[in-house]
Every structure is written in structure tokens, then in C-alpha cells.
Amino acid sequence: MFPVMLKEFFLKNKFMKATAIAPSNIALIKYWGKKDEKLRLPANSSISINLSGLKTITTVEFSPKYEKDEVIIDQKENAKEGKRVSQHLDRIRKLAKISLRAKVISKNNFPKSSGLASSASGFAALTLAGAQAAGLNLSQKELTVLARLGSGSACRSIPDGFVEWRQGKDSQSSYAYSLFPTDYWDLSIITTLVESGEKKVSTSSGHQLAKTSHFFKTRLKKINDKIVLLKNFIKEKNFLAFGELVEKEALEMHAIMLTSTPSLIYWQPATIEVLKYIQNLREAGLPVYGTIDAGPHLYIICERKNEKELINKLKKVEAIKKVIINRPAPGARLVS
């Protein structure tokens, strides 16, 4: 063992292991397309809600007993994911001025790489646990900047409740903060799982295609107005206007995906079936709206008072294999 590593270990031993839990989040205004790939600066600001039912718990331990980083996600080692995690640990090591390798054990309570945003909760939990284990003392804003470098949407899983990620002009100005606290608005977000399997095009590769769509420029021209409107609808708790905007925004992002070269279709037939089903529910008087990330599963949003009725209706839809009930949730937390 190198003397410098020994010193690090003995000096910082008490900080060298930490565990954090982080929620996934669902974007209301989507992050799709980057203006800087390496720094993960998004083409536009985005807004999301943290989800209480979809979480990742991660333990990071830096120690001289590890010769290389060991990364276990959902009880498996995977070279590609391990590399991305190790690159994130390098960012943490650089900030903390340490060179120790680490063991990372991470568990999701939902299927990863299926469009349920495991990279958001995963990199948020990894950032918080890693920073703590390395003895870093970062502000929440700094944690969001660090998480963003691992996976863009992860920065929105650090603050509580309803979160905005400001696109920024450089790394320090591209951060996330809480717009409204967790208990601001009694919403239910129902994740409906349909048949999927692991997705073929990762979100990170998908982002690169956004600019090949002719519609992308038009989207960016109008997005700031949309963000102002959405914030107002949340502030006023105007559910109908909020829901209309959120559903249209999801379809707009998917229109960019569909019209990219090559075309990206994350939907399955069941996605359309569930979307049409909830549009029919709406016509019949139940105020529910849907949004979809880079996967086939619909997230249905309603006010809490309508949750029970919605769940009962969804039981009749064969295409839905499972539902997960989410409420707005706090952001990443350390676990003792």
C-alpha cells in the first residue's frame, strides 16, 4: 500500500463509508438534448417531481483494501455500468484529493434500464453517499452540479419535492433547486408498467439524436414560455391547465424522438393503449393526465382525491402489468 493511501485511510477513516437513498423523478418539462455532452449541459431547463415509490439505496466505501472499484448494482456486476460509476467516483476522488478505490453496492426497488429513470436515482444516491464517504462537505447546490455530471436528470433527485434544473451557461451555473416543497400539492403519480424488457437505445445515446429532428429548434424557441406557464400552474394548483401542459410536453419530446435520424420509438403498443385509455377517462369526467420518459411506461398524474377511482379503473386494463403509486417525495438523504 502506498504511504499516501495509508495516510488518507487513517486520516479519513471515520468518513470513508456512507449510505444514501434517493428517489427517481418524473420530468414535467423534459430534458432532451444537450448543448455540451461532456459537461452534460442540457439544451433547456427542466422541471420534475421526485417520486416516493421509486428509489435507489447506495453504499460507497473507499478503502485501501480495494485494488480497483467494485460496483454491484442489484446484486450484479456489469462492466458498462461499472465504468460509468467509476468515472463518477473519479470526479469525487478529484474533489476530495484522494486516490483510494471504492466498493459500491446499489439497489433499486424497480427494474432498471426500463425507462423508469434508474440513472436519476442511481447517480443522486451515488453522489451523496460518495461525497460523504470521501469526506467532502458540499452544499446542496454543489451536490446537484456533481450529480449532473454523472447523469443529467440525477441533479433533480437531490432537492426536495418539485424541482427545477436551470440549464446554466457553464458547469457551476447548471444546477437544480427545490421550486416547491414535497407537501406543497397533494398529487398522485401512478407509474403503470407495461411489457418492455431492457431498452435498446440508452437515454444518453438518445440525447445525441435530438438535434437531428427539424422540430428541435422550434421546441427550444418556445420552451422558456412553457416553463414560466408550468411554474404558475403549480403555484396556483391549477390542475387542469397543469395536466394539459404536462401531457402535451411529453408528446412534444416524443415527437422529437420519432422525427430524429434514426427515429427513436420508446413506445410499445401498450403505451398508446394506456394513453388512449386515460384520454377516454378524461372525456368521461375524471381529470387524469399522462407523461412518458424514455421508455414505454405511462406515468399518470391526478389529484390525490381521485387516486382511488383511477387505480380501480386501471385494474381493468390488461396491458398494465403493475402499478406503482407515487407521491411527491423528498430528495436524496443520507442513511445512518
* Residues in touch with ligand DP6 (CB under 6 A): 27, 30-32, 40, 46, 117, 119, 151-153, 203-204, 207, 293-294
In 3D space, the residue among 324, 255, 264 whose CA is nearest the CA of residue 30 turns out to be: 255
Give the shortest CB-276-to-ligand DP6 separation in angstroms. Answer: 21
Give the shortest CB-17-to-ligand DP6 separation in angstroms. Answer: 26
Q: Which is nearer to ligand DP6, 117 or 136 (CB)?
A: 117
Give the shortest CB-156-to-ligand DP6 separation in angstroms. Answer: 7
Rounded (10°) angle between helices 118-133 and 79-96: 40
Q: Which is nearer to ligand DP6, 45 or 63 (CB)?
A: 45
Q: Which is nearer to ligand DP6, 8 or 293 (CB)?
A: 293
Give the shortest CB-260-to-ligand DP6 separation in angstroms. Answer: 13
Residues 6+ apart with CB under 8 A from 164: 45, 46, 47, 176, 177, 179, 227, 231
Question: What is the rounded CA–CA span in Å between residue 317 and residue 271?
Answer: 12
Give the shortest CB-81-to-ligand DP6 separation in angstroms. Answer: 12
In 3D space, the residue among 173, 163, 196 whose CA is nearest the CA of residue 23 turns out to be: 163
Give the shortest CB-121-to-ligand DP6 separation in angstroms. Answer: 11
Kindly tell me the burial class for residue 234, based on how many C-beta atoms sit within 10 Å of its own C-beta (0-12, 13-18, 19 or more): buried
Q: Which is nearer to ligand DP6, 12 or 199 (CB)?
A: 199
- Which string of DSSP letters, residue by residue, matches 212-259? GSTTHHHHHHHHHHHHHHHHHHHHHT-HHHHHHHHHHHHHHHHHHHHT
Q: Which is nearer to ligand DP6, 297 or 313 (CB)?
A: 297
For residue 273, the SS3 value is helix
Q: Which is nearer to ligand DP6, 30 or 297 (CB)?
A: 30
